[in-house]
Amino acid sequence: MMNEDEVLTTLKILIIGESGVGKSSLLLRFTDDTFDPEQPATIGVDFKVKTLSVEGNTTKLAIWDTAGQERFRTLTPSYYRGAQGVILVYDVSNRKSFQKLDMWLNELETFSTKSDIVKMLVGNKIDMDKREVDRQEGLKFARKHAMLFIEASAKTKEGVQVAFEELVEKVIQTPGLWENDSRGGMSLNDRGNQSVSQGCGGYCSLL
C-alpha cells in the first residue's frame, strides 16, 4: 500500500509528428478504453496526467500532444521546455510522414532544454493494409538517431502501452534527466500559445 502511494518522479512526455499519423489516438489508447466515437470531443484535449508503474516504480506522466498546432507550424519553445521524453510518430502507410522525421528531430534539437531527452520512434497504423515504410527502415532510422523504436497500432492498442513503458523505463535509467526535478515546476500556461483555445470560440461542442 505504501509502495503504491510513493511516486518516484513526475515526467513530461511529448508526442510529436505530422498531422494525421495518429498522435492523439496514441494518447487516448494508453490503457483500456471504451471510447465512444459519437462523443463530440471538440473542446479538445490539451494534455493528460497518467500514473504508470514500471518495474515497481510509480511515475506520474504529464503527456502532451500537439493538439493540431503542428499543422500551423506554431509549436512554441515552451511546448518542448522541460520534457524528459518524446514520442516521435510516423504513419507506416504514409511515406511522407516518415520523410518529415528529420525536420521534427531538428525542431526537437533546437528547442529541447534537456540534452539527454529520451526519444522513441513509433511507426503507427500497422493495422493498415497499405504499408509504405517497412520495419527495417524505421529501425535503421531509430538506430541512426539513438532512439528507441516500436511499431504500433493505436487501433488495436498493440504496442502503445509498451511504447510508454519502455520510454519511461529509459528515462528512469537516465538519472540526470529526472533526479533533481521538483514537483510543480510546470505551469499549465506553459504551452504559451493559447490561440487554439480562443480559436475554438463559438464552435466548441460538448465533450
Does residue 36 belong to the site contacting another protein (CB under 8 A)?
Answer: yes
Least spacing, CB of residue 98 vs another protein, in Å: 29
CA distance 78 to 150: 27
Nearer to another protein, 45 or 128 (CB): 45
Least spacing, CB of residue 4 vs another protein, in Å: 8
CB 89 within 8 A of CB 124: yes
Does residue 156 belong to the site contacting another protein (CB under 8 A)?
Answer: no
Q: How many residues bind another protein (CB under 8 A)?
A: 42
Does residue 48 belong to the site contacting another protein (CB under 8 A)?
Answer: yes
Rounded to whole angstroms, what are the CA distances from 189 to 65, 186, 192, 195? 15, 8, 6, 12
The long-range contacts involving 31-36, CB below 8 angstroms and separated by at least 24 positions, are: 31/161, 32/157
CA distance 10 to 134: 35
Rounded to whole angstroms, what are the CA distances from 146 to 128, 140, 141, 205? 27, 10, 9, 42
Does residue 35 belong to the site contacting another protein (CB under 8 A)?
Answer: yes
Nearer to another protein, 96 or 199 (CB): 199
CA distance 146 to 149: 9
According to CB under 8 A, which one of 51, 53, 113, 156 is a site residue for another protein? 51
Does residue 39 belong to the site contacting another protein (CB under 8 A)?
Answer: yes
Least spacing, CB of residue 134 vs another protein, in Å: 32
Amino acid at 156: T
Site for another protein in 165-204 (CB under 8 A): 183-184, 187-189, 194, 196-197, 200, 202-204
CA distance 205 to 166: 36
Does residue 34 belong to the site contacting another protein (CB under 8 A)?
Answer: yes
What does the binding site for another protein look like in residue numbers (CB under 8 A)? 5, 7, 10, 28, 30-36, 39-51, 60, 62, 67, 183-184, 187-189, 194, 196-197, 200, 202-207
